[in-house]
Amino acid sequence: MSVQKLTDILNKTNNLVFFGGAGVSTASGIPDFRSANGLWNQRYGRHLSPEEMVSRSFFERDPEDFFAFYKDKLIYPDAKPNGCHIALAKLEQMGKLKAVVTQNIDGLHQMAGSKTVYELHGSVLRNYCTRCHAFYDADYVLKADGVPHCKACGAIVKQDVVLYEEMLDENVIEKAVHAIAKADTLIVGGTSLIVYPAAGFIRYFRGNNLVVINKTETSADSHADLVIHDDIASVMEQAVAAMQP
């Protein structure tokens, strides 16, 4: 019944925005990096929180351990788009979905075919030299022996990912907020809405239908028009498949 209601909403909407978090990537085999904290600390004899491991200060203070964790737990080169990514790309092709706003850094929305994607926390697919700004892909970082260095000038190559203690890109924020504010339907999926400031963006929504799809409860459930506590990949795939041709 809930999936059918979502299908009905999708059939009627013409200005949809999707706001997604880590749960969107789970079905593609990418776990929330926080879940790797205990095992990684145990292996390396560290006592750091997940937030510390992906912080700017840790990157600068201990780049060897930073990149060891980063390459082990944040880059998944074999991951493929799942039912949610593909469903959203279809909705964009239909002219209904106007933007994907994502907290994820894996680039799977674009791989599925989505064109308008606002990556709040950046992407592991883009990497730049900290001195000369030369571009490097994720494969270069993965294959580097320890800390990746620029082939041109020798400086450290840093991923285009917003680390803790760093500011979000203002241009990306502005575009994301504008899209959410104009939407008539906002789907919040695969996120518990606990990571700020990104989670606060949904307060700009003034449209007709707020839909929340997440396996567990979120802070938005109480004022959502439709709440589905289920797997986001399965729900989106079913809902879009059932839409009117």
Chain segment 47-78, per-residue pLDDT in tens:
778 788 899 999 999 999 999 989 988 999 99
User: Where do runs of H (alpha helix) occur along the chain?
Assistant: 2-12, 23-26, 37-44, 50-53, 56-61, 63-73, 83-93, 108-112, 138-143, 170-182, 232-241
Place of tokens 């270069």: 140
What pLDDT, on a 0 to 100 scale, did the predictor assign at position 35? 63
Q: How confident is the model at residue 244 (pLDDT cuts 50, 70, 90)?
A: confident
Cα 100–Cα 55–Cα 52 angle in degrees, nearest 5: 115
Place of tokens 């912080």: 55
Task: Work out the average pLDDT over 34-54.
Answer: 67
The one catalytic residue among 85, 109, 121, 229: 121
Q: How confident is the model at residue 198 (pLDDT cuts 50, 70, 90)?
A: confident
Instruction: Tell me the CATH number of domain 124-161, given options 3.40.50.2300, 3.90.1010.20, 3.40.630.30, 3.30.1600.10.
Output: 3.30.1600.10
Which homologous superfamily does the CATH classification assign to the domain defined by 2-30+80-121+167-241? TPP-binding domain (3.40.50.1220)
Q: What are the structure tokens assigned to 191, written together?
A: 């996120």
Does the bond joining 197 to the residue before it have cis omega, within 30 degrees of 0?
yes
Cβ neighbours of 116 (radius 10 Å):
15
Stretch(es) of the chain classified as CATH 3.40.50.1220: 2-30+80-121+167-241
| Torsional sign, CA 74, 78, 82, 87 | positive
Task: Work out the average pLDDT over 125-137.
Answer: 98
Active site residue 121: yes
Instruction: Tell me 201's DSSP state.
Output: G
Tell me the pLDDT of the chain averaged across its residues: 93
pLDDT in tens, 96-122: 999 999 999 999 999 999 999 999 999
What pTM was computed for the model? 0.93
Q: How confident is the model at residue 192 (pLDDT cuts 50, 70, 90)?
A: confident
